[in-house]
Each structure stands twice: as C-alpha cells, then as structure tokens.
Amino acid sequence: MAQSASYNVLFVDQSQDSPNPLPTPEDINGSETFLHQSTGSRLVRVQPNFVVKFGVHIRPIEAHNMMHVAKNTRVAVPKVYAIYQRQEKQSVVTYIVMQYIPGTTLLNMWGSLDHDRKTAIARTLRTYFDELRQVQHPGYFGNIASGPPLDDMFSATQGAQEVTTSFATEDGLIDCILRIYSLETGERMAHKTRYYKHVLPTVLRGNDYPVFTHNDFQRKNVMVQPDGTPFIIDWEFASWYPTYWEYSTATFCNGGWNDDWHDYVRIALDEYPNQALWLSSLKTEMWS
C-alpha cells in the first residue's frame, strides 16, 4: 500500500490508458461537479473523464467488485482507476476514482421509452446477467474477500456483528437468516420464527451453488449512454448468492409497483417468484 502525505493509495490502475492524470483527494475540493449524495456517501465529477465516489460508508470492496466483473465478463461497468483512503477525525473515508459514464439512468428515462426500446434494453441486460452467472464460483456464499454477503440483512441488523465469514452451504446461509430474523423481531414474531424454521430450509432453495450477483438491480443503477449502451453501476452489495437472490432483491426493491418495470425484470432475469415472496416477507417483517 503506497502512502501520500495525507492519504493511502490502495490501488492505482497501471494500464496507462487513463485519459488524464488521476485526481487525488486533494483535487476534489474546488473542482467538483456534484452528482449525488446520500448518508455517508457523495458522488462528484472531477475533470471531464472521472467520477469519484467517496465517504465514510464507501468500502474498497465495491471497487474490487467492479474490477472482478470487468476482468471476468463483458458486462459494461465503469472502469476503476484508483482507490484511496484517508483518516478524518474518527472515521476512514474511502475514495473510488472511476470512469465517467455519460448518459441518463434508466429510472429517469423509463417514462419516455416505448415497449420496443424497453425490451431491447432488458435483453441487453439479460446478456450481462447471463455472463455473471457463468463466472466461476469460489465454493461459498459470501463476498469476494471470503467474508459474509454484502447485504443489509447481514450488516445492518441485530446479530450482524456475529456474521464474520462466508457460508459453505445454502443450509448455513438459511440458518444465519433465521438467526438474524429471530434477533431482529424478538418476541413479537416468535411464533412466525418457529414457522420459518420449519419451512425455509425447504422453500429457500437455489441450485446448491453460488452465482455472482449485483444484488441491487434497480433502474437507478443502470446508466444508458447516448448510444444506447446500458452500464450497470453501484456494486456495493455484490456477492456470491443463491441463484434466486438477484430476482428476489429486484422485486423487493420495486417500491410501489406503479408501472410496468416488473414486466421487463423477468426478461432480464430468471424468475424465482416463490423464493422472492418468502424473502420479501422476511425483510418486511424485520424492517417495518
């Protein structure tokens, strides 16, 4: 790990194809074009060709997920140029320097698209997800660094601090989901917990092997370039999951179901409606 006077360099692209000198954390102030902000995270454009995602809630593994996808598939993802970290008071801030992708999110343009255009985009996304499913798996369910899956279920719940490693089997993953559900819902759902312990080992089944999964497939995370090429962005939750997980997450994130997006999700992804309903029930009961 290289170190500057004020920040650590965790990764720098050595291919020499970056369009300009790479921006550093110091370059951001005064030269940024704000693009997006959420709690603990900001996205800014720096120079014509870069975006920088940074904040206390950004983790280097998000960039490594994108590099893993770029190395092993032809899925269109932003190129990662650098990863930096620096200490700010009591927090560590991570910076991911990426390729700027011109275009519009699929969410913002959806209402202006006709059926044929929506279908064409969904079919292209289908080729991407098919490629992800073919990436050689490591033999466990978890993140690419052998830790637990990068899902709020395993990081933002009571008992999540006990989840420190990946899962060797689907049974191990299901046992963990049941344990977290019980801790999160407590006595108010004790009878439902006993029911889930009875049925989930049977109904939450994929193909017994993990597949690489984006785990946040929403229109806001698809950028469509002016030439029509869709890029998938925001890989912070990607991990090795059961085959049904991508579809389940996509349907759970569909919000109010107030338009036809679900018709095209089933073009882009294999459908697992049974598993999706069980997982949606679990999450709704835990977080409502």
Over the stretch 197-231, which tens digit does the pLDDT of each residue have? 999 999 999 988 999 999 999 999 999 999 999 99
Among 78, 103, 77, 98, residue whose Cα is nearest residue 225: 103
- DSSP string across 205-241: --SSS-EEE-S---GGGEEE-TTS-EEE---TT-EEE
Ramachandran assignment for 40, one of left (phi > 0), alpha (psi -120 to 50 degrees), beta (any other)? left
Residue-level pLDDT at 230: 98
Would the pLDDT of 16 be above 70? no
pLDDT-derived band at 187 (thresholds 50, 70, 90) equals: very high
Q: How many CB atoms lie within 10 A of CB 228?
A: 11
pLDDT-derived band at 159 (thresholds 50, 70, 90) equals: confident
- DSSP string across 187-205: GGGHHHHHHHHHHHHHHS-
Exposure pattern of 69-87 as b/e (b: 16+ CB <10 Å)? beeebebbbbbbbbbbbbe
Would the pLDDT of 70 be above 70? yes
Q: Average model confidence (pLDDT) for the chain?
A: 92
Q: What is the mean pLDDT of residues 136-140?
A: 96
Q: What percent of the chain has pLDDT over 70?
A: 96
Distance, CA of 188 to CA of 182 (rounded, Å): 10
Distance, CA of 184 to CA of 201 (rounded, Å): 19
Residue-level pLDDT at 32: 64
Q: What is the mean pLDDT of residues 8-16?
A: 89
Distance, CA of 16 to CA of 101 (rounded, Å): 19
Q: What is the mean pLDDT of residues 29-38?
A: 69
What values do phi and psi take at 65, rounded to 5?
-60, -45
Q: Are the C-beta atoms of residues 204 and 174 closer than 8 Å to each other? A: yes
Q: What is the mean pLDDT of residues 11-30?
A: 81
pTM: 0.93
What are residue 222's DSSP bridge partners? 232
pLDDT-derived band at 256 (thresholds 50, 70, 90) equals: confident
Axis crossing angle, helix 261-268 with helix 115-134, rounded to the nearest 10: 40
Q: What is the mean pLDDT of residues 120-147?
A: 97
Residue-level pLDDT at 195: 97
Axis crossing angle, helix 190-203 with helix 170-185, rounded to the nearest 10: 160
The most distant pair of C-alpha atoms in the chain lies apart, rounded to whole Å, by 60
Over the stretch 230-254, which tens digit does the pLDDT of each residue have? 999 999 999 999 999 999 999 999 8
Structure tokens at 224: 């469509």
Residue-level pLDDT at 2: 56
pLDDT-derived band at 261 (thresholds 50, 70, 90) equals: very high
Would the pLDDT of 106 be above 70? yes
Amino acid at 176: C
Would the pLDDT of 37 be above 80? no
Residue-level pLDDT at 36: 73
| Full set of structural domains in the chain with CATH | 2-99 (3.30.200.20), 101-288 (3.90.1200.10)
- Which residues contact residue 118 at a Cβ distance below 8 angstroms, ignoring those fewer than 6 apart? 110, 260, 264
Residue-level pLDDT at 29: 65
Residue-level pLDDT at 4: 55
Distance, CA of 262 to CA of 271 (rounded, Å): 11
Would the pLDDT of 74 be above 60? yes
Would the pLDDT of 34 be above 70? no
Most confident range (mean pLDDT) of 3-12, 33-42, 98-107 is 98-107
DSSP 8-state secondary structure symbol assigned to residue 136: P
